[in-house]
Amino acid sequence: MIEQIREIAQKTKVASRALVNVSTLQKNQFLNHLAEILESDKEEILAENRRDVSRADQSGIKKSLLDRLSLNEKRIREMSQGLQEVASLPDPVGEVINGVKRPNGLIIHRVRVPLGVIAIIYEARPNVTIDSIGLGIKSGNALLLRGSSLALFSNQILVKKAKQALTRSGLPSDSVNLLGSGKHEEVELLLSLRGLIDVVIPRGGGELIQTVVKNSQIPVIETGVGNCHIYLDASANFSMAEKIVINAKTQRPSVCNACETLLVHQAVAADFLPRIGKSLIEKGVEIRGCEKTKALIDDAQVADEEDWYAEYLDLILAVKVVAGIEEAIEHIDRYGSHHSEAIVTEDYQSALRFLQEVDAAAVYVNASTRFTDGGQFGMGAEIGISTQKLHARGPMGIRELTTTKFMVYGLGQIRE
């Protein structure tokens, strides 16, 4: 099997070389062609998707997973619109980031170029196939996709459509390839192909990400886990604090930028917690609190050590009363996942200190953590939210799917 995977990766690499010189116009044509094909061939796509869904249903997977696997007309339209939106984004390739003329006359430009071949490893969500293809090709990269075996028929038909659109736009059809055996060892083999693949991006839950990080010999961009905190400072405006906490916890609890732990300054705990607790419980939130919280919110459960680490992705909130900003920052540092952290305060020094000292991809004063998102940050579509520090941190748009190259223009200079 390794030889087969290597061969596919090799073909993808060859295609990636051709993509380097492709014009923005041609890439946008591809995106628009694919958007059209998805709409015009939707019956065929839905039929293949039904094969996956019925097989998965018989195997008895969870309803929520089945829902993510299922396509319908609306979802196909969304995929198609997503491609058109990516077409409308500026092309990051070719940007001259900076440039100098050195004393010896050498002209040195640092230019943005595609990464090359990007491998995406993901779960049973066929929309990720189209989304990855759109962002990858727009940024000039070739793609090696490895979706879940549960979505194999769906992914196969979507990649077939992508290849049609590639050919119609005059781009190499090997710019997008799908690994198809569905076997687990396939992932391990893929992660060993250093030199053929430039970067691996796992898109999915914590377990998938950890598997990729532990086994990969190729550089990985880690996305996702969010154990996000909101700290209510002693000077917080109560009604602002309440709105932000309710929004960050309940507006969409299943996503990585939702709030998982609330930290409250002890000076305002007796005033704030009973009222915020009531509002949260009315919204169906289960509260797991420290001893002090428990004394202030009757219906709270008792939190244990595990709760401080938890990314619930659900209507559950851990709550802790802290002595002040120092303890809040320490708690976030110890238990957090360095994703999105917020303080609610009217105090200038607390605001500045929180922004400076909390180590996370995004740090907020007086706003909901839910804003950590490529679209909300004005970057256009995103491929994920990086919680690592190398290469990209926070929401990653197509610009983050590029690298740089120094182009040096000489007139015969040699080094003395």
Position 405 contacts a copy of itself (CB under 8 A): yes
Coil/strand/helix, residue 178: strand
Closest distance of CB 118 from a copy of itself, Å = 10
Token pair 């299943």 is found at: 254
Report the C-alpha gap between 103 and 239 in whole angstroms.
Answer: 60
Position 391 contacts a copy of itself (CB under 8 A): yes
Position 355 contacts a copy of itself (CB under 8 A): yes
For a copy of itself, the binding residues in 106-165 under the rule CB under 8 A are 106, 108, 115-116
- Among the listed residues 138, 163, 288, 370, the single contact to a copy of itself using CB under 8 A: 370
Residue number with CB closer to a copy of itself (194 or 283): 194
Residue number with CB closer to a copy of itself (65 or 113): 113
Report the C-alpha gap between 16 and 175 in whole angstroms.
Answer: 6
Q: Quote the Cα angle for 386-141-398, to 5°.
A: 40
Closest distance of CB 385 from a copy of itself, Å = 10
By CB atoms closer than 10 A (0-12, 13-18, 19+), residue 61 is middle
In Å, how far are 54, 308, 384 from 381, measured between CA atoms? 31, 31, 9
**Token pair for residue 117?**
């071949």
- Among the listed residues 70, 175, 261, 372, the single contact to a copy of itself using CB under 8 A: 372
Which long-range contacts link 406-411 to residues 24+ away (Cβ below 8 Å)?
Answer: 406/108, 406/109, 406/110, 406/111, 407/108, 407/109, 407/111, 408/106, 408/107, 408/108, 408/109, 409/106, 409/107, 409/108, 409/109, 410/105, 410/106, 410/107, 411/105
Buried b (16+ CB within 10 A) or exposed e, 349-385: ebbebbeeebebbbbbeebbbbbbbbeeeebbbbbbb
Position 100 contacts a copy of itself (CB under 8 A): yes
Contact 136, 400 (CB under 8 A): no
Position 284 contacts a copy of itself (CB under 8 A): no
Closest distance of CB 64 from a copy of itself, Å = 22
- Among the listed residues 362, 381, 396, 398, the single contact to a copy of itself using CB under 8 A: 362
CA nearest neighbour of 237 among 367, 109, 135, 71: 367
Residue number with CB closer to a copy of itself (242 or 307): 242
For a copy of itself, the binding residues in 180-219 under the rule CB under 8 A are 194, 198-199, 213-214, 217, 219
Closest distance of CB 221 from a copy of itself, Å = 7
Region of 378 on the Ramachandran plot (φ > 0 left; ψ -120 to 50 alpha; else beta): left
Number of residues that bind a copy of itself (CB under 8 A): 65
Closest distance of CB 115 from a copy of itself, Å = 5
For a copy of itself, the binding residues in 36-55 under the rule CB under 8 A are none
Closest distance of CB 78 from a copy of itself, Å = 19
For a copy of itself, the binding residues in 305-334 under the rule CB under 8 A are 333
Residue number with CB closer to a copy of itself (20 or 65): 20
Report the C-alpha gap between 339 and 229 in whole angstroms.
Answer: 9
For a copy of itself, the binding residues in 224-253 under the rule CB under 8 A are 237, 240, 243-244, 246-248, 251
Residues binding a copy of itself (CB under 8 A):
17, 20-21, 100, 102, 106, 108, 115-116, 194, 198-199, 213-214, 217, 219-221, 237, 240, 243-244, 246-248, 251, 333, 355-357, 359-368, 370-372, 376-378, 388-391, 393-394, 403-415
